[in-house]
Amino acid sequence: MNREQALDVIKEIFALCHHIEGRSIKLISPDTNSLLSKGYQIHIERKNNDGLDQCVRTIANHNNLTVNSEDGFLIIYKPQS
């Protein structure tokens, strides 16, 4: 995903996911060597399962993005075509 789309998704998460407050959220620059992801990634710290996962997945699906859970983070990205 491009930077503008990533920032729009982050804004949407802050507007709709009330469980986001107090969490670490990072915008990760594109990795040209990545086989799974195309463009920027969004990493959100997971502390417990309090509804954040479902909210983030709903937003990601709406934006045709993928969400994976890895090392205590939700990772949102656009898969390679």
CA distance 53 to 4: 23
The domain in which residue 55 lies consists of 3-77
**Residue whose token pair is 């995903």:** 1
Query: How many CB atoms lie under 10 A from the CB of residue 79?
Result: 11
6: amino acid identity, one letter: A
Q: What local confidence, expressed as pLDDT, does residue 40 receive?
A: 94
Work out how many domains the chain is built from and give that number.
1
Tokens of 55: 């909210």
Stated pTM of the model = 0.89
Q: What local confidence, expressed as pLDDT, does residue 36 receive?
A: 73
SS3 state at 78: coil
Residue numbers of the chain with a pLDDT score lower than 50: none
Q: Up-side HSE of residue 39: CA atoms within 13 Å toward CB?
A: 16
